[in-house]
């Protein structure tokens, strides 16, 4: 009995002390007891130990999430930029094609072509073996295209029809001409009654210029003069612009002049052309081979 009362007494005293300590600790104080300091430090250290890996892991997870978000945004931006570049390219190509078609339309409606049936065609291929010399167009004999018809763009002459099938034709460009199929030309001169004459006899691959050989005893050539087809030979009508003289030199025997002529039409970038079907004869039909 005595021991039971003693234990009850000790329990009550302990409760009173605990309540007193709690009440004492709840007061507003600036100084903590040693026990409180120990408890606070222990709890703070434990929280720091626990929170550091949690914070680190959470930070990594957030960084990964942010990186994924940035990556997705970059992919969207890259896709948008690719689409913009594609649209810009398509716009440039469409603008270029429209300009080319306008030039062809103006050319086909010009007074010069009133004596010809203009057959408009598109380039569908270039020869792999002779990339800069032969092209294939999408018009053939079923459309009225025949061999030896002249072919032009809105800027000038580019060549002649070499062969035709029912629905396609092969065109030999000016840079594929040589002495065996030379072109008779005139050089326009403002201050003279007659123009100088000569022949396109070849092409300089390095300078990408046509070679024009002048007839003997013709006038002096100058840089900047324009070269036109003479109409002799029956293939090319008179007055088709061929190109511009960029320099002149004597041949190796110094008997005549050799001029370098820049083609008026871009022979490397052809998309739409006009085949000229002559409906009336207006020039001398003498062949160029006989003139040689």
State pLDDT tens for residues 183-193.
Answer: 899 888 776 66
Output the pLDDT for position 286.
Answer: 43
Token pair for 167: 């629905």
Domain-embedded: residue 29: no
pLDDT on residue 217: 56
Whole domain around residue 178: which residue ranges?
A: 116-291
**Secondary structure tally for the chain: helices H, strands E:** 3, 12
Residue with tokens 């007839």: 215
Q: Are residues 96 and 143 in the same domain?
A: no
Check if the beta carbon of residue 245 is closer than 8 Å to that of residue 94: no
Same domain, 247 and 173: yes
Identify whether 163 is part of a domain: yes
Tell me the pLDDT tens digit for each residue of 198-222: 899 999 888 899 999 888 655 577 8
Confirm whether 164 is domain-assigned: yes
Mean pLDDT of 175-189: 85
Number of domains in the chain: 2
pLDDT at residue 8 in the model: 74
- Residue/partner pairs of 122-127 with CB below 8 Å, 24 or more apart: 122/271, 122/272, 122/273, 123/270, 123/271, 123/272, 123/273, 124/168, 127/170
Distance CA 41, CA 35 (A): 10
209 and 229 part of one domain: yes
pTM as predicted? 0.60
Q: How many whole angstroms separate alpha carbon 229 and alpha carbon 73?
A: 60
């Amino acid at each position: 009995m005595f021991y039971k009362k003693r234990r009850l007494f000790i329990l009550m005293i302990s409760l009173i002390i605990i309540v007193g300590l709690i009440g004492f600790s709840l007061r507003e104080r600036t100084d903590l007891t040693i026990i409180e300091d120990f408890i606070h430090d222990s709890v703070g250290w434990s929280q720091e130990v626990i929170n550091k890996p949690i914070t680190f892991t959470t930070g990594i997870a957030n960084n990964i999430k942010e990186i994924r978000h940035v990556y997705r945004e970059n992919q969207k931006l890259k896709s948008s930029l690719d689409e913009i570049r594609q649209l810009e390219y398509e716009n440039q190509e469409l603008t270029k094609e429209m300009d080319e078609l306008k030039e062809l339309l103006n050319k086909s409606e010009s007074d010069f072509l009133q004596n010809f049936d203009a057959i408009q065609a598109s380039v569908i291929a270039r020869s792999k073996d002779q990339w800069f010399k032969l092209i294939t167009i999408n018009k053939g004999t079923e459309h009225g295209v025949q061999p030896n018809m002249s072919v032009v763009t809105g800027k000038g002459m580019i060549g002649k029809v070499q062969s035709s099938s029912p629905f396609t034709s092969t065109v030999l460009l000016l840079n594929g001409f040589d002495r065996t199929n030379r072109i008779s030309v005139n050089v326009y001169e403002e201050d003279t009654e007659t123009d100088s004459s000569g022949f396109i006899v070849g092409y300089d691959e390095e300078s990408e210029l046509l070679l024009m050989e002048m007839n003997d005893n013709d006038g002096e050539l100058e840089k900047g003069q324009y070269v036109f087809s003479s109409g002799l030979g029956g293939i090319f009508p008179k007055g088709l612009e061929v190109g511009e003289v960029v320099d002149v030199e004597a041949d190796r025997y110094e008997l005549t002049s050799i001029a370098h002529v820049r083609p008026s039409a871009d022979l490397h970038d052809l998309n739409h052309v006009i085949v000229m079907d002559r409906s009336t004869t207006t020039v001398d039909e003498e062949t160029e081979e006989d003139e040689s």
